[in-house]
C-alpha cells in the first residue's frame, strides 16, 4: 500500500464539547480520504476518545495526560506522510486552510498559519508572549513569525530529527519555530483567522503562572544560544572587577581582593558559557 503524501496530526485532551466540530469539517472536506488523519487522545477523562472513534480517522491514545508536545510527538512518530500538518482540536483552527498550507510545503521546510489582528487571542497572555518573542528574536537575530501558532506544517524528516529537543508541554510550537530558524531552514507564513475555542477554557496560563514562562525563557536560551547571555555577562563582570580594582588601587594603594574575585568570576562565566554552548550544539545534533 502506498504511503500517504501528507499526515494531519491533531492532539486532543478533554475536548468532548469541541471535537466534533473539527471532525465534521474534516469528513465534509474529504481530508480523511485524501490524507492520513491522526488524532491523539492525550489521556482524556471525558468522552473525547469515544467521539473520535465514531469517525473514519486514526486515533491513538495516551492512558495518562502527557502534554500537548508529547501528543504531537506520538502523532509524528506514527505518521507515514512525507509532510506533517498539525492543528488544534478545540475549534480554533478551520481545516479549510489545510490545502493552502500543504501547497506551500513544496517550497518551504516549515509553514505557519499566522494569526491576523482580528483573530481571537487571550489578552492576559500577551505580556508573556512579548517576553518570549523578545528573547527569541535576540537569540536567532531576526524577526520571528507567529512563533507559537498551533497551525503549522513541516517536512516529516526534518521535524523527526528534532523531536528529542522538543518539550512535552505547550512550548512545542515555540521551540520548533526557533529550532528551524536556528538550523537555517526556510519558514513560510500565510494569514489565518482563529476563532475562540469551543468548550472548556485553555490550560495555558502564561501570565498567571509566571514561573512557567520564565522556565521556558531559560530553556530556550540554554538550548539555542547560551553565549548570548553568558558572554555579555562575563564581559560586564570582568570590566566591573577591573574598574573596582583600579579605583581601589588609587584610593587605597592596593588592588582589592573583592575586585580579583569579580574578575575571576567574569572569566569563569565566560568559560561556563563556552561549555554550555558546546552542550547546546550536541543537544541539537540531528538524530
Buried (b) or exposed (e) across 80-117, using 16+ Cβ within 10 A?
ebebbbbbbbbbbbbbebbeebbebbeebbbbbbbbee
pLDDT for 137 beyond 70: yes
Share of the chain above pLDDT 90, in %: 56
Task: Using a pLDDT cut of 70, give the percent of the chain over it.
Answer: 89
What is the rounded average pLDDT of the residues 72-92? 93
240 domain residue, yes or no: yes
Same domain (yes/no): 150, 187: yes
Q: Are residues 177 and 212 in the same domain?
A: yes
Residue 117 near residue 48, CB atoms below 8 Å: no
Residue 129 has pLDDT above 80, yes or no: no
In terms of domains, do 237 and 218 share one?
Answer: no
> Do 123 and 185 belong to one domain?
yes
271 is a domain residue: yes
Q: Is the pLDDT of residue 286 over 70?
A: no
Q: Are residues 255 and 172 in the same domain?
A: no
pLDDT band, very low/low/confident/very high, at 1 (cuts 50, 70, 90): very low
What pLDDT, on the 0 to 100 scale, is given for residue 133?
Answer: 76
Q: Is 108 a domain residue?
A: yes
Per-residue pLDDT tens digits for 37-58: 999 999 999 999 999 999 999 9
Question: Who has greater pLDDT, 207 or 173?
Answer: 173
The whole model's pTM is what?
0.82
Residue 142 counted as domain residue: yes
Q: Are residues 213 and 78 part of one domain?
A: yes
Mean pLDDT of the region 79-94: 91
Does residue 177 form part of some domain? Answer: yes
Neighbours of 39 (CB within 10 A): 29
Element of type H or E holding 192: strand 187-192
**Which pLDDT belongs to residue 128?**
67
Q: Evaluate if residue 118 carries a pLDDT over 70.
A: yes
Q: Are residues 242 and 126 in the same domain?
A: no
Query: Are 244 and 168 part of one and the same domain?
Result: no
Q: Which long-range contacts does 25-28 make (Cβ < 8 Å, 24+ apart)?
A: 25/94, 25/95, 25/96, 26/55, 26/57, 26/95, 27/55, 27/56
Q: How many domains does the chain have?
A: 2
Q: Which pLDDT belongs to residue 222? A: 85
Examine the domain organization and report whether 263 and 162 are in the same domain.
no
Domain holding 87, by residue range, is 6-194+205-224
Please count the other Cβ atoms lying within 10 Å of the Cβ belonging to residue 121. Answer: 14
Poorest-pLDDT segment among 143-147, 173-177, 232-236, 269-273: 143-147
- Asked whether the predicted pLDDT for residue 207 surpasses 70, the reply is no
Q: 54 lies in a domain? A: yes
200 part of a folded domain: no
Does the pLDDT at position 205 exceed 70? no
How many residues does the structure list for the chain?
287
CATH number at residue 147: 3.90.550.10
Q: Are residues 161 and 233 in the same domain?
A: no
Q: Do 79 and 118 fall within a single domain? A: yes
Q: Is residue 199 domain-resident?
A: no
Contact present, 46 and 195 (Cβ < 8 Å): no
Q: Are residues 100 and 76 in the same domain?
A: yes
- Segment 52-72 shows an average pLDDT of 94
pLDDT in tens, 213-266: 667 777 888 888 898 889 999 999 999 999 999 998 888 888 899 999 999 999
pLDDT score recorded for residue 259 = 92
Question: By mean pLDDT, which of 119-128, 133-142, 260-269, 277-286 is the weakest?
Answer: 119-128
Q: What is the mean pLDDT of residues 260-284?
A: 92
Reading phi first (left if > 0) and then psi (alpha if -120 to 50, else beta), residue 43 is in left
Amino acid at each position: 500500500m502506498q504511503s500517504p503524501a501528507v499526515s494531519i496530526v491533531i492532539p486532543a485532551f478533554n475536548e468532548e464539547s469541541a471535537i466534533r466540530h473539527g471532525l465534521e469539517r474534516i469528513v465534509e472536506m474529504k481530508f480523511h480520504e485524501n490524507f492520513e488523519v491522526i488524532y491523539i487522545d492525550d489521556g482524556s477523562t471525558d468522552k473525547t476518545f469515544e467521539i473520535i472513534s465514531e469517525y473514519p480517522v486514526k486515533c491513538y491514545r495516551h492512558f495518562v495526560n502527557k502534554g500537548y508536545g508529547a501528543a504531537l510527538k506520538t502523532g509524528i512518530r506514527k505518521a507515514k506522510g512525507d509532510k506533517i500538518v498539525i492543528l488544534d482540536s478545540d475549534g480554533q483552527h478551520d481545516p479549510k486552510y489545510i490545502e493552502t498550507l500543504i501547497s506551500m510545503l513544496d517550497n518551504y521546510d516549515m509553514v505557519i498559519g499566522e494569526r491576523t489582528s482580528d483573530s481571537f487571542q487571550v489578552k492576559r497572555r500577551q505580556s508573556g508572549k512579548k517576553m518570549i518573542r523578545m528573547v527569541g528574536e535576540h537569540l536567532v537575530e531576526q524577526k520571528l513569525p507567529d512563533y507559537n501558532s498551533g497551525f503549522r506544517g513541516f517536512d516529516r524528516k526534518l521535524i523527526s530529527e528534532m523531536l528529542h529537543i522538543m518539550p512535552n508541554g505547550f512550548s512545542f510550537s515555540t521551540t520548533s519555530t526557533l529550532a528551524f530558524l536556528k538550523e537555517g531552514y526556510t519558514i513560510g507564513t500565510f494569514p489565518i483567522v482563529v476563532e475562540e475555542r469551543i468548550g472548556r477554557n485553555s490550560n495555558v496560563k502564561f501570565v498567571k503562572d509566571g514561573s512557567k514562562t520564565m522556565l521556558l525563557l531559560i530553556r530556550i536560551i540554554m538550548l539555542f544560544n547560551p553565549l548570548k547571555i553568558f558572554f555579555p555577562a562575563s564581559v560586564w563582570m570582568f570590566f566591573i572587577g577591573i574598574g573596582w580594582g583600579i579605583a581601589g588601587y588609587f584610593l587605597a594603594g592596593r588592588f582589592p581582593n573583592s575586585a580579583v574575585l569579580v574578575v575571576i568570576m567574569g572569566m569563569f562565566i565566560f568559560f561556563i558559557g563556552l561549555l554550555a554552548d558546546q552542550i547546546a550544539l550536541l543537544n541539537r545534533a540531528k538524530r
